[in-house]
């Protein structure tokens, strides 16, 4: 047993390995310039192998310690264990040395190589004598090396912690005029009209702030971090840069019409001149179906999803996700008729704004109708691109001829399987959602051959294979679609989520076909 750096290491049978070694000792005598004599003993050792103590896992070979032209190299492989001790098998005795004595690789000048060799290797041969031997002033001191600490493993991922939401203060015109004694002298109709105008103004300020945050925090940051390409960013955000000036313009117009006392007299001409700028929303709304699909696709990337989560937890987003902010702009666009009607309602009949606001309403309705038509066509193209036909017979021409998506949603069949129903202006298509897309289920039904049966509650037994031998489930909110000629294809018995959902489907069917049958209780066919 030996003691090394205040630590004890035991020699075990596993570490006893015989190696071949040789030694050559040479005495040198040098007379210095002052007449003194310097005697030096140099030793050269050749060790073919060495063994490590318990805990070490590798055995390396010493290079021959002889004269070299470039440098003296003495290397021992280190392992990741805590044992810094090396044992040399020497015929006379077993010598234990700290590992750092052998992890030495130094560039030495030629005049110091012999000094290094004499000092370090004499200590290997006679460690006890070296303690009492005076050290020469030119001897090489082996530095004390502190074992390296193991590298710290990277900290695990931590999701962003929620931050306090930035609340938007809702102010009315009366709040902005607090302390003004003239407000109490105004009539109720005048106050309501001022409130309606101020609501329009404040809404423009808020939507401008939201869109600026979306552009700066979301779109620009995504492109800077290379989370999406410029084409992907445009598909998600659409003509975002063109929307912000539109809302800033109306806010500026309304602010310029405000008098010193805080009231606004006429806004009709300003709104009428501004409404045509809303045509930019036609392309923005038409892009939304593809933008939402691209956003959902990018969410599958962990870095992109983490970025959205961190933005949503930031105060500027007010806990709203990206799509809620983008869809808020579309919601603001379709809300303008209600805002203008609120101003028109509180405007006196003989006021000059009445005719101007009516003209603005007419233009606004045309723009919104155009946006709805293009949005419907865009949705139709998008959902048609998601359809996957399993057989050639399912590729009927009515699918390609369809230009408008009337209604779509998730329903259940009489076996409890979730299906997706797409009602286009030319065809009704039932699909099943798979990893490859929306697989067409059975045969699509052209609108010209479509028959819809409005089934009463309890008319059809619903249930899966598990409940096939039981009592089953009483059906509610069920309807059936089929061909006018049953030989052309199978029918579909579908159940809506609730009564409201069923009525929405029935209204949609009425818009494309007149072949709708209301089945009385006990008179319908059971399937």
The string of pLDDT tens digits covering residues 406-416 is 999 999 988 88
CA–CA gap between residue 60 and residue 77 (Å, rounded): 6
- Cβ atoms within 10 A of the Cβ of 458, count? 12
pLDDT confidence of residue 164:
57
pLDDT confidence of residue 49:
45
Strands 450-455 and 516-518: parallel
Identify the burial level of 151 via C-beta atoms within 10 angstroms of its C-beta, where 0-12 means exposed, 13-18 middle and 19 or more buried: exposed
Identify the burial level of 374 via C-beta atoms within 10 angstroms of its C-beta, where 0-12 means exposed, 13-18 middle and 19 or more buried: middle
Q: What residues does CATH 2.30.29.30 cover in the chain? A: 389-518
Which tokens sit at 278? 């809303």
Q: What is the DSSP string of 336-388?
A: HHHHHHHHHHTS-TTSTHHHHHHHHHHHHHHHHHHHHHHHHHHHHHHHHHHEE
| Cα atoms found within 13 Å of the Cα of residue 389, Cβ hemisphere only | 14
Q: What is the DSSP string of 37-88?
A: EEEEEEEEEEES--EE-TT------PPP-S--SS-EEE-----SSS--EEEE
Residues, the chain: 527
251-270 confidence digits (pLDDT tens): 999 999 988 888 888 899 99
Q: Contact at 8 Å (CB) between 72 and 106?
A: yes
pLDDT confidence of residue 448:
93
pLDDT confidence of residue 458:
74
Question: Distance from first CA to last CA of the chain, Å, rounded?
Answer: 90
Place of tokens 């606001």: 357
pLDDT confidence of residue 470:
47
- List the one residue out of 356, 353, 179 whose CA is nearest residue 265: 353
Topology of domain 187-387, per CATH? Dbl Homology Domain; Chain A (1.20.900)
pLDDT confidence of residue 475:
76
Q: What are phi and psi of 35, to 5 degrees?
A: 95, -10
Which tokens sit at 423? 């009602």
pLDDT confidence of residue 6:
39
Q: Contact at 8 Å (CB) between 413 and 391?
A: no
Place of tokens 């004599």: 37
Reduce the DSSP state of residue 27 to 3 states and report it. strand
CATH number of 389-518: 2.30.29.30
CA–CA gap between residue 111 and residue 136 (Å, rounded): 14
- List the one residue out of 513, 366, 395 whose CA is nearest residue 454: 513
Strands 461-462 and 445-446: unpaired
Low-confidence ranges of the chain (pLDDT < 70): 1-170, 178-181, 459-474, 520-527
Helix, strand, coil: what percent of the chain each, to 5?
Answer: 45, 20, 40
Q: What residues does CATH 1.20.900.10 cover in the chain? A: 187-387
Strands 445-446 and 427-434: antiparallel
Segment holding 280, helix H or strand E:
helix 280-298
């Amino acid at each position: 047993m030996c003691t090394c750096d205040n630590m004890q290491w035991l020699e075990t049978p596993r570490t006893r390995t015989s190696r071949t070694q040789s030694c050559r000792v040479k005495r040198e005598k040098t007379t210095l310039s002052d007449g003194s004599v310097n005697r030096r003993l140099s030793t050269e050792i050749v060790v073919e192998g060495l063994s490590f103590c318990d805990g070490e896992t590798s055995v390396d070979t010493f290079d021959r310690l002889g004269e070299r032209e470039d440098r003296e190299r003495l290397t021992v492989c280190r392992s990741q264990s805590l044992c810094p001790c090396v044992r040399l098998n020497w015929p006379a005795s077993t010598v234990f040395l700290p590992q750092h004595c052998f992890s030495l690789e130094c560039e030495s000048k030629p005049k110091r190589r012999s000094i290094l060799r004499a000092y370090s290797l004499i200590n290997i041969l006679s460690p006890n004598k070296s303690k009492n031997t005076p050290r020469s002033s030119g001897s090489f001191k082996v530095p004390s090396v502190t074992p390296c600490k193991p590298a710290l493993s990277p900290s695990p991922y931590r999701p962003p912690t929620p931050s306090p939401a930035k609340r938007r203060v809702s102010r009315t015109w009366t709040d902005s005029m607090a302390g003004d004694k003239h407000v109490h002298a105004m009539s109720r109709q005048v106050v309501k009209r001022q409130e309606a105008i101020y609501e329009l103004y404040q809404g423009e300020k808020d939507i401008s702030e939201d869109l600026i945050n979306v552009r700066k925090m979301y779109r620009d940051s995504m492109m800077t971090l290379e989370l999406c390409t410029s084409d992907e960013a445009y598909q998600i955000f659409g003509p975002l840069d063109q929307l912000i000036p539109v809302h800033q313009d109306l806010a500026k117009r309304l602010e310029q019409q405000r008098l010193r006392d805080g009231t606004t007299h006429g806004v009709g001409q300003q709104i009428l001149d501004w409404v045509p700028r809303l045509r930019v929303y036609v392309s923005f709304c038409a892009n939304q179906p593809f933008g939402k699909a691209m956003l959902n696709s990018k969410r599958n990337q962990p870095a992109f999803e983490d970025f959205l989560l961190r933005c949503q937890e930031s105060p500027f987003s007010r806990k709203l996700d990206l799509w809620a902010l983008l869809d808020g702009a579309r919601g603001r666009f379709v809300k303008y008729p209600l805002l203008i009607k609120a101003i028109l309602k509180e405007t006196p009949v003989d006021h000059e704004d009445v005719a101007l606001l009516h003209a603005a309403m007419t233009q606004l309705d045309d723009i919104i109708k155009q946006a709805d038509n293009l949005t419907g066509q865009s949705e139709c193209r998008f959902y048609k691109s998601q359809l996957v036909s399993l057989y050639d017979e399912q590729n009927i021409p009515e699918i390609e001829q369809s230009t408008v998506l009337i209604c779509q949603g998730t329903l259940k069949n009489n076996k409890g399987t979730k299906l997706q129903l797409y009602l286009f202006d030319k065809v009704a298509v039932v699909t099943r959602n798979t990893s490859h897309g929306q697989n067409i289920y059975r045969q699509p039904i052209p609108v010209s051959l479509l028959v819809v049966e409005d089934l009463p509650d309890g008319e059809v037994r619903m249930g899966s294979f598990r409940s096939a031998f039981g009592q089953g489930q009483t059906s509610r909110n069920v309807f059936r679609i089929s061909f006018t000629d049953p030989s052309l294809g199978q029918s579909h018995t579908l159940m809506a989520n609730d009564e409201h959902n069923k009525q929405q489907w029935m209204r949609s069917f009425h818009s494309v076909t007149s072949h709708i049958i209301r089945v009385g209780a006990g008179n319908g066919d059971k399937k």
